[in-house]
Structure 1
Amino acid sequence: MTPTVSTTVDGMTDPDETYDPTRHPDLLRWLGERQGAHGRWAEQTSHADVLDFTPASLGVLDGLVRETAHSMEEITARRMTPFVQGAIWYVGEVFCRHQAMAWKYIPDIVSGELEPFFGAAGETSALDHPCVGVPDDPESYLYPLNMLRRILLTEDEVGDPVEETLLSIFANPFDEDFDEDDEDDDEELDPVDGRG
């Protein structure tokens, strides 16, 4: 069944009560495109033999991302390039296959609306779409794009050094130090954290 959404004036959509975040047509189309392009993407990285969807292969991808971009802003600016799109899909697939997660296209946590998929108008939030999360838990989700951004962060908001990797995120995807209930309802999520 195709989810029902209503389009608003600004291009965002409001999901109705039957909305299934794992079945949105834009998400399904993107997943099909990425799966179809994966072989060529992996070959272009020169590491096709080790990009085998195992958690250990995230270390290889981590290195490739660091060779490609040097800041969170660079990854954000390049998010529509074939390399970054392939990396987003690959990271999400590893989490889905080994952490019992599913791909989701969820409403914005503040507005409750579905933002344009991958910011079709060129703008993006720090989190962007799509995300992966526990299938029946609307409170658990991670954004692969933001995972790629986070590994390029060298210091936190108070200047302390940070050294995060795709493997460290995989090992502890829902950091026990992060508690959504501690977030003030009027505050936006920290774009560095990337957790919902």
Structure 2
Amino acid sequence: MTDHAHHGTDPARHPELLAWLAERQAAFPRWAEDAGGVERFDFSPASLDVLDDLLRQTFGTDAEIAAQRREPFVQGAVWYLGEVVCRERGTVWKYEPDTADDQEPAPLFDPADRPGVLDTPCVSLPSEGPERGLYPLNVLRRMLMEKDALGNPIDERLVDALDDDYLDDGFDDDFDEDDEDDA
């Protein structure tokens, strides 16, 4: 991961992140209406069950979510989940571009889909870096997975992301470069 101190960009103030957050916030009323009605998405923990059910009706696999990760519906779901976590857990949005040693940093939601490059925003406590963050896109994908990388069954709901120990469960370990190639 790129060292933000080296590049002088605070992960919570990265220009691409701020632009994405403003775009998502402005698009929220239409996204929520298209997703079943603004009244269903009140940023409460219970509203995550509504989003969870909607995602399960829309997508059959985590690969389908990954394939549509730049589409407005998935972008809205990523933002909405992250916003609920921020409001409930006191976290903040962060983005720190990842890069291979010989490449420029990947842009937010990189259209090139470079394997092994992290290009999505996360939410984490203000005192922690993105490496300890919860990546909403990965949470959306994980809820549709049946087994983790070790073959253990997964049975999660989006609301589980609000649990105190969720970040300690190693959920990001389930997404390696092979998964990115399959997405």
TM-score range, shorter chain: 0.7 to 0.9
Tell me how many residue pairs correspond in the alignment.
173
Distance 1:175 1:105 in 2: 17
Contact 1:72 1:153 in 2 (8 A): yes
Q: Which stretch of the first structure deviates more once superposed, 42-51 or 72-81? A: 42-51
1:176 Cα deviation after fit? 3.8
Percent pairwise identity: 47
Distance 1:51 1:172, change over 3 A: same
- Secondary structure of the corresponding residue to residue 115 of structure 1: coil
After the TM superposition, which residues 106-145 of structure 1 pair with which residues of structure 2 at under 5 Å, given as runs? 106-108=96-98, 114-123=105-114, 125=116, 128-138=119-129, 139-145=131-137
Q: What is aligned with 2:141?
A: 149
Distance 2:77 2:162 in 1: 15
Output the aligned Cα RMSD. 2.9
1:69 is matched with which residue: 59, 62, 74? 59
1:46 Cα deviation after fit? 1.2
Q: Which stretch of the first structure deviates more once superposed, 65-74 or 165-174? A: 165-174
Gaps of 5+ in 1: 1-11, 180-187
Distance 1:94 1:177, change over 3 A: closer
Structure exhibiting the larger radius of gyration computed from Cα positions: 1
Q: Which stretch of the first structure deviates more once superposed, 97-106 or 116-125? A: 116-125
Contact 1:128 1:145 in 2 (8 A): no
2:81 is matched with which residue: 80, 86, 91? 91
Contact 2:160 2:166 in 1 (8 A): no
1:189 Cα deviation after fit? 4.1
| AA partner of residue 61 (structure 2) | S
RCO higher in 1 or 2 (8 Å CA, sep ≥ 6)?
2
Distance 1:94 1:68 in 2: 21
Distance 1:126 1:57, change over 3 A: farther
State whether structure 2 residue 164 is matched by structure 1 residue 166.
no
Distance 2:115 2:41 in 1: 28
1:124 Cα deviation after fit? 5.8
| AA partner of residue 111 (structure 2) | A
1:110 Cα deviation after fit? 8.1
State whether structure 2 residue 71 is matched by structure 1 residue 81.
yes
Distance 1:174 1:162 in 2: 13
Contact 2:88 2:162 in 1 (8 A): no
